[in-house]
Structure 1
Amino acid sequence: MTCPLCKNQESTSFIGINDILFWKCPSCYLIYKDQSYHPTPNEEELRYMHHNNNSECEGYVDSLNQALEPSLSYIDKDMVGLDFGCGPEPVLAKMLEETGAECYHYDPFFFPELPDERLDFVISTEAFEHFFQPYKELNLITSLLIPSGTLSIMTHRWKDDTNLNEWWYMRDQTHVCFFHDKTFEFICKKFGFSLEYDDGDKVIILRKVVAWEF
């Protein structure tokens, strides 16, 4: 099976939660769900609509702050950025605008228009695990950033000691790929990023250090 991130063709399969077929790449350490278990677009949208992800939900706002607070060290008031994968309500973009920065918002289901200008920063919270084609999505995100722009990502990472047969993060029907520390090492090398910040669990901030050739 070909890895949807690094294109290695030697991924190994295993049966995980709910008897779902997963693949693990030995090169970039991405774990990804077999395509036969991917949700349909209607299933995805319905699931996202049932999330309680709005500005009135204190728990959701607290979760966003886990990515926003470390990101603010790299964001000035005159910068322009993007909330990538914002869902039906762009809460994070509004939180950023309260700090003085300008922030667009994008979601393939709810806000499918991308900005024309290149951006100083992109923040993507709980979206990477939904990427069917992470190479394609990272290609897009990288192209949106100016050189020296930052990419903040919040997604739970699997570790070498993670029990993949019981890990709760794999239970969500719309979660189709799962990242490891070594996956982000590959991303940095392949897409021209440096590591700026890592909380060791789910928030990581990268800086674009080279012009990416498409």
Structure 2
Amino acid sequence: MADLPRCCPLCGSDHLTLFCRDKRREYFRCRQCALVSVPATMHLTATAEKAEYDKHNNQLADAGYQAFLRRTWDPLLACLRQLQRPLTHIRGLDFGCGEGAVLSQVAAQDGVRVANYDLYYHPGTAVLQEQYDFITLTEVIEHIADAAALVRQLDALLKPGGWLAVMTKRVLDQDAFSRWHYKNDPTHICFYSDDTFEWLAERLGWHCELSGKDVVLLRKPAAPDCTAPSE
């Protein structure tokens, strides 16, 4: 058995319990935020991780992959239409876009501009110096080891009133997790549940909508109206 991790990678709590063990890895659940995570000693190296990603071949021409992404994009687009601005004036970031950067091309079909960032395939950091009306993470968040640092980074990148759209399969319960194919991907190291996203939204003071089985929409509060007269 691996050493018990010192703390939860999302909330920092040291109240962790063994949630599951299989032939390759162990998974610990945080009693505070309910995140299930794999100890750092069981993570892949960066080289091995990229080798796994290189096996993917996601392209715009793949209608099935477009439909997959639209499970996130379509409900997010409905939210963006409520911003009372032309879609051409709204700008987003696809964080962890992958080599094909397909979501930005899907968004362009609806007249929305999306910048791309990916640690391995689109590593230019200039896009991380701006702020956006929305950010998408489609099948990304489960790959990020330092969950707390990711949340801080996304918060800084997102404008007040902006939307964060996350696609990731969610933990149901211990029995289902033990039989779950999703945990078998060696690049998946953090697993979120409804409780985790609700905890995160409460901590940040954000609005949380659980859309379907694997999409979560989080909205950052709008900035206070400084022009309003004081009482």
Bin for the TM-score computed over the shorter chain: over 0.9
**Contact 1:82/1:103, CA 8 A, preserved across alignment:** yes
Given the alignment of the two structures, is residue 93 of structure 1 paired with residue 93 of structure 2, yes or no? Answer: no
Deviation at 1:13, TM superposition (A): 1.8
Relative to structure 1, is the Cα distance of residues 209 and 162 closer, same or farther in structure 2, using a 3 angstrom cutoff? farther
**Contact 2:135/2:164, CA 8 A, preserved across alignment:** yes
* Greater gyration radius: 2
Relative to structure 1, is the Cα distance of residues 38 and 210 closer, same or farther in structure 2, using a 3 angstrom cutoff? farther
Of the structure 1 ranges 32-41 and 47-56, higher mean CA displacement relative to structure 2 is found in 47-56
Deviation at 1:210, TM superposition (A): 6.0
Q: Which residue does the alignment assign to 1:103?
A: 114
**Contact 1:29/1:183, CA 8 A, preserved across alignment:** yes
Matches within 5 A, 1:65-80: 65-75=70-80, 76-80=87-91
Given the alignment of the two structures, is residue 174 of structure 1 paired with residue 183 of structure 2, yes or no? Answer: no
Candidates 154, 173, 186, aligned match of 1:160: 173
Read off the aligned partner of 1:5 and give its amino acid letter: L
Q: What TM-score do the two structures reach when normalised by structure 1?
A: 0.92
What is the alpha-carbon distance in structure 2 between the residues aligned to residue 200 and residue 98 of structure 1?
A: 23
Q: Which residue does the alignment assign to 2:140?
A: 127
Q: What are the ranges of 5 or more consecutive residues in structure 1 without an aligned counterpart?
A: none
Matched residue count: 210
What is the alpha-carbon distance in structure 2 between the residues aligned to residue 160 and residue 38 of structure 1?
A: 23
**Contact 1:17/1:166, CA 8 A, preserved across alignment:** no
Larger proportion of helix: 2
Deviation at 1:187, TM superposition (A): 1.1
Identity %: 32
Of the structure 1 ranges 55-64 and 29-38, higher mean CA displacement relative to structure 2 is found in 55-64
Deviation at 1:162, TM superposition (A): 4.7
What is the alpha-carbon distance in structure 2 between the residues aligned to residue 161 and residue 22 of structure 1?
A: 11
Alpha-carbon RMSD: 1.5
**Contact 2:19/2:174, CA 8 A, preserved across alignment:** no
Given the alignment of the two structures, is residue 207 of structure 1 paired with residue 219 of structure 2, yes or no? Answer: yes
Relative to structure 1, is the Cα distance of residues 28 and 106 closer, same or farther in structure 2, using a 3 angstrom cutoff? same
Given the alignment of the two structures, is residue 50 of structure 1 paired with residue 55 of structure 2, yes or no? Answer: yes
